[in-house]
C-alpha cells in the first residue's frame, strides 16, 4: 500500500507512460471506446425502457381491450359475415368465469369509431367532442388524473343515471373563460344538460384518448344515445401474476360461446393486448441492455489487450532501465508492481474518460429527444453498473499487466544491463 | 571485506561450455582501491558481475563483509545489492526522465527511505560530487563527466560497503576521466572500498592495487604507489 501512495511511484509511472505520448493516447482510446460504447448503449437502452414505461404509465401494464367484429365462419346455422355486438351481460359472465380478471370495464363512445362526436354547447360557445360512457371501475385500469375540486364518475352517478360529466383540459379551455371554475357549471351534451363534476388531466400515450374527451356515466350514456345493453368494447385488467395472453384467449373463447361463434373464428372478436406488447417492449429493452453489456465488455477486453500489448513493447524498450533499477536494489516484486500499476492506471484513466464521454453523449441525446414524440426519457446507467465496469477494468488491467510484468522480471538484471 | 576462494564460472554456449573464470582467489580489505585489469575476454567483467551479485558463481565461495553470498534468489540478491553495493557503469545508466536528484535518490527509494529524507540525502551526495546546482536537470542536459558524477553520487547514496565501477571512464575523454578518478580517489580517501574494472593503464595507476586477469586466472596482483588524479585536474 505504501507503494501506491508514494509520489515517487506515480512519478515513475507518469515518467514511463509519458515517454511516448502518442502511443499512450492511442492505446487509451481502445479502452475508452469500449467503456464509452458500454455506457452510451446501456444508457440508451435504459432511456428507451423509461420512455416506453412513461408511455404506458397511466394504463395498467397487464390490461387488454376486446371488441366485437363480424364473424368470418358460418356456425350453428348462422351465415358468415354476421355482425356481433357485445352486451352488458357479457361482463358478468366473464367476471364469473375467469378468476384472473381483476377489473373489467365496459365502455361506449360516440365519435371515435365512426359516427359523429357529440355536440357540446355552453352559452354562446360550442364544440364537437368525443363522449364516453363509463363505469367508475375504468379508473382502476387507466388512471385518470382529475384536477383539484373535481371527481370522476362514481357509483351513485351510475345508479341514479345522473346527468354529470367529466370534461377534458382542452374542452375547458375552449368553452370556459380563463379564470372560470367549470365545476358545478352546466353544459349541453346533444341537447341534454349535464353538470360538470371534474376536469381530467391529459396524459399522453395509451390509445386514442385525447385532452378533450368527455366522460359521462355509462347508464346515462345508454339513455342519451339509446344504446340499450350494447357495449362498445371491454377494457380488462388481469391480476399482476396472471398470464395476460391466456386471459385474452379465455375472454375470446367465452365471448364466442356466448355469441354462438365458431370457436375457430379468429376474426369475430378483436383485441389489443397491452400486457403482451409491454412484455415484448421491455424484453426488447432488456435485450438491448444485455447486448450493450456484451458489446461493451468485449470492446473493453480488446482495449485492455491493446494496453497489455503496448506495455510489452514498453517493457522491451525499458529493459535496460529495469536492469539498472534492479542493480540498484529493486526487487522483482517492486518491478512487477510498478508495471501492473501502469497497466491499471492506464485502464482506469481510459475508463473514467470513457464514462465521462458516455455521460456527455447521453446528456446530448436526452436534450435532442426532449421535444420529440419519441419514447426516450432520462437515459441513465445505474451507478453499480458503472462501478462494476470499473472493477472489471481494474481486474482486467491487472491480469493483462501480469504478462509484461512477468516479462520484465524474467530477464536477468545482468542481461538487461547488457542490452543496448 | 571481500573474500573469494577458488571461484569458477563457465557459460554454456550451445553444446560447448566456455570456462571464463578458472579458480580465482582474491580478497579485498576495507578501504582498498583496486583496479581489475585485463584484455577483453579475460573474465574481468564476469568477476565484477559475480561480485555485484548480478551473476552467480558455479564453484567456490564468496563472502561480502563476512556474509556468505550463496543461494540467492532474485529478491534476496536485490536486497543485498541495495544494502552492500553501489554500481557505476560505463554508460552511466541514468534514468533519463528523472532529474539528477531523483536519480541519486532512487536507491534510497528502494531502501524505503521517506521522500523528504531521501531528497536531503541525495542532495548531500550531489553536493559531494559538485553538482548541487544541477540537481533539477535531466541527464540529457548534463555532460558525460557530469552524468558519471551523478551516477557515482547515486552509487554512494545507499552508503554501500563496496563501490563497483565497470569501466567508469570508458566513455569519457581523458580530461573528464581524470576528474572522475579524482572524485573516486576522494571517496576512497574517506574510507570507502572501491573496485574498478578498466583496461586503461593510466586509470589503473590511480588505484592502490592492480589485479591483472588473463584467461580466467589472476596473473598479477600488486600494490602500487597511487598516482593522484588531482595533479591533472585544474
Give dist(CA B215, CA B18) in Å, integer. 11
Mean pLDDT value across residues B181-199:
91
B18 burial type by CB count under 10 A (0-12 exposed, 13-18 middle, 19+ buried): exposed
pLDDT at B56: 86
| pLDDT higher than 90, residue A156 | yes
For the stretch A175-184, pLDDT in tens is 998 888 999 9
**Minimum Cα–Cα distance from B75: chain A residue:** A331
Per-residue pLDDT band at A307 (split at 50, 70, 90): confident
Entry field: residues in chain B: 234
Report CB contact under 8 Å: A413, B95.
Answer: no
Give dist(CA A370, CA A375) in Å, integer. 10
> At residue B59, what are phi and psi to the nearest 5 degrees?
-140, 160
Give dist(CA A366, CA A46) in Å, integer. 12
SS3 category, B161? coil
Q: Which fold has domain B2-232?
A: Rossmann fold (3.40.50)
Contact (Cβ atoms closer than 8 angstroms) between residue A233 and residue A107 = yes
Partners of B110 on chain A (C-beta within 8 Å) are 325, 328-331, 334
Give dist(CA A207, CA B33) in Å, integer. 98
pLDDT at A4: 66
For the stretch A211-247, pLDDT in tens is 888 999 999 999 999 998 999 999 999 998 888 889 9
**B112-131 residues touching A, CB cutoff 8 A:** 112, 115
> At residue A354, what are phi and psi to the nearest 5 degrees?
-60, -40
Closest alpha carbon to A150 in A129, A162, A164:
A164
Per-residue pLDDT band at A1 (split at 50, 70, 90): low
For the stretch A19-45, pLDDT in tens is 778 888 888 888 888 888 888 888 888
Report CB contact under 8 Å: A329, B81.
Answer: yes
Pairing of strands B2-13, A269-273: unpaired
Distance from CA of A347 to the nearest CA of B (A): 22
pLDDT at A222: 92
Q: Count of alpha carbons within 13 Å of A166, Cβ hemisphere only? A: 28
* A18, A324, A326 member nearest B78 (Cβ): A326
Give dist(CA A38, CA A32) in Å, integer. 10
H-helix or E-strand containing B88? strand B85-88
Give dist(CA A373, CA A130) in Å, integer. 23
Query: What interface predicted TM-score (ipTM) does this complex get?
Result: 0.87
**Minimum Cα–Cα distance from B53: chain A residue:** A327
Radius of gyration, alpha carbons of chain A: 34
* Total Cβ atoms within 10 A of residue A164: 20
Give dist(CA B212, CA B199) in Å, integer. 10
**Minimum Cα–Cα distance from A333: chain B residue:** B75
Report CB contact under 8 Å: B82, A320.
Answer: no
Per-residue pLDDT band at B123 (split at 50, 70, 90): very high
| pLDDT higher than 70, residue A205 | no
Give dist(CA A236, CA A64) in Å, integer. 5
**pTM for the whole structure:** 0.69
Residue linked to cell 385500469: A141
- Residue B36 sits at the vertex; the CA angle it makes with B32 and B42, to the nearest 5 degrees, is 160
Amino acid at each position: 500500500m505504501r507503494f501506491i501512495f508514494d509520489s515517487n511511484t506515480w512519478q515513475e509511472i507518469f515518467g514511463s507512460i509519458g515517454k511516448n505520448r502518442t502511443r499512450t493516447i492511442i492505446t487509451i482510446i481502445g479502452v475508452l471506446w469500449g467503456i464509452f460504447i458500454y455506457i452510451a448503449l446501456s444508457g440508451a437502452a435504459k432511456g428507451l425502457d423509461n420512455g416506453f414505461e412513461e408511455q404506458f404509465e397511466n394504463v395498467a401494464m397487464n390490461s387488454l381491450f376486446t371488441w366485437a367484429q363480424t364473424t368470418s365462419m358460418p356456425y350453428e346455422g348462422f351465415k358468415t359475415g354476421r355482425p356481433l355486438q357485445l352486451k352488458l351481460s357479457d361482463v358478468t359472465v366473464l367476471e364469473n368465469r375467469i378468476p384472473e380478471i381483476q377489473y373489467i370495464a365496459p365502455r361506449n363512445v360516440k365519435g371515435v369509431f365512426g359516427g359523429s362526436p357529440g355536440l357540446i354547447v355552453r352559452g354562446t360557445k360550442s364544440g364537437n367532442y368525443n363522449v364516453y360512457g363509463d363505469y367508475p371501475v375504468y379508473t382502476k385500469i387507466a388512471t385518470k388524473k382529475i384536477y383539484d375540486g373535481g371527481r370522476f364518475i362514481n357509483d351513485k352517478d351510475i345508479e341514479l343515471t345522473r346527468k354529470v360529466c367529466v370534461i377534458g383540459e382542452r374542452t375547458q379551455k375552449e368553452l370556459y373563460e380563463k379564470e372560470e371554475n367549470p365545476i358545478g357549471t352546466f353544459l349541453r351534451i346533444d341537447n341534454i344538460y349535464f353538470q360538470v363534476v371534474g376536469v381530467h388531466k391529459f396524459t399522453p400515450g395509451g390509445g386514442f384518448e385525447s385532452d378533450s374527451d368527455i366522460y359521462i356515466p355509462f347508464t346515462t350514456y345508454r339513455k342519451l344515445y339509446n344504446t340499450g345493453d350494447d357495449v362498445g368494447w371491454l377494457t380488462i385488467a388481469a391480476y399482476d401474476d396472471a398470464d395476460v395472453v391466456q386471459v385474452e384467449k379465455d375472454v375470446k373463447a367465452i365471448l364466442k360461446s356466448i355469441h354462438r361463434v365458431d370457436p375457430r373464428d379468429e376474426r369475430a372478436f378483436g383485441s389489443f393486448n397491452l400486457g403482451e406488447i409491454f412484455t415484448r417492449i421491455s424484453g426488447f429493452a432488456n435485450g438491448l441492455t444485455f447486448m450493450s453489456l456484451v458489446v461493451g465488455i468485449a470492446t473493453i477486453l480488446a482495449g485492455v489487450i491493446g494496453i497489455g500489448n503496448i506495455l510489452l513493447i514498453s517493457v522491451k524498450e525499458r529493459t535496460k532501465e529495469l536492469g539498472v533499477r534492479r542493480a540498484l536494489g529493486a526487487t522483482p516484486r517492486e518491478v512487477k508492481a510498478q508495471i501492473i500499476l501502469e497497466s491499471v492506471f492506464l485502464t482506469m484513466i481510459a475508463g473514467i474518460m470513457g464514462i465521462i464521454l458516455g455521460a456527455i453523449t447521453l446528456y446530448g441525446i436526452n436534450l435532442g429527444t426532449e421535444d420529440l414524440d419519441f419514447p426516450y426519457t432520462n437515459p441513465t446507467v445505474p451507478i453499480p453498473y458503472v462501478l462494476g465496469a470499473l472493477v472489471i477494468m481494474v481486474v482486467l488491467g491487472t491480469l493483462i499487466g501480469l504478462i509484461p510484468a512477468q516479462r520484465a522480471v524474467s530477464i536477468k538484471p545482468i542481461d538487461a544491463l547488457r542490452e543496448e | 571485506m571481500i573474500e573469494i576462494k577458488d571461484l569458477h564460472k563457465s557459460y554454456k554456449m550451445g553444446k560447448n561450455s566456455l570456462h571464463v573464470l578458472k579458480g580465482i582467489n582474491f580478497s579485498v580489505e576495507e578501504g582498498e582501491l583496486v583496479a581489475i585489469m585485463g584484455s577483453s575476454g579475460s573474465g574481468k567483467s564476469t568477476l565484477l558481475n559475480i561480485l555485484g551479485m548480478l551473476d552467480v558463481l558455479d564453484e567456490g565461495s564468496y563472502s561480502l563483509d563476512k556474509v556468505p553470498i550463496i543461494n540467492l534468489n532474485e529478491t534476496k540478491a536485490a536486497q543485498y545489492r541495495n544494502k552492500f553495493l553501489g554500481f557505476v557503469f560505463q554508460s552511466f545508466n541514468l534514468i533519463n526522465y528523472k532529474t539528477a536528484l531523483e536519480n541519486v535518490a532512487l536507491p534510497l527509494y528502494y531502501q524505503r527511505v521517506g521522500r523528504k529524507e531521501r531528497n536531503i540525502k541525495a542532495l548531500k551526495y550531489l553536493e559531494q560530487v559538485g553538482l548541487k546546482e544541477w540537481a533539477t536537470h535531466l541527464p540529457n542536459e548534463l555532460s558525460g563527466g557530469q552524468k558519471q558524477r551523478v551516477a557515482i553520487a547515486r552509487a554512494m547514496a545507499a552508503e554501500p560497503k563496496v563501490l563497483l565501477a565497470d569501466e567508469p571512464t570508458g566513455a569519457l575523454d581523458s580530461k573528464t576521466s581524470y576528474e572522475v578518478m579524482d572524485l573516486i580517489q576522494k571517496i576512497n580517501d574517506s574510507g570507502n572500498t572501491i573496485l574498478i574494472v578498466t583496461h586503461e593503464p593510466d586509470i589503473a595507476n590511480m588505484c592502490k592495487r592492480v589485479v591483472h586477469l588473463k584467461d580466467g586466472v589472476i596473473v598479477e596482483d600488486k600494490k602500487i604507489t597511487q598516482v593522484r588524479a588531482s595533479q591533472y585536474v585544474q
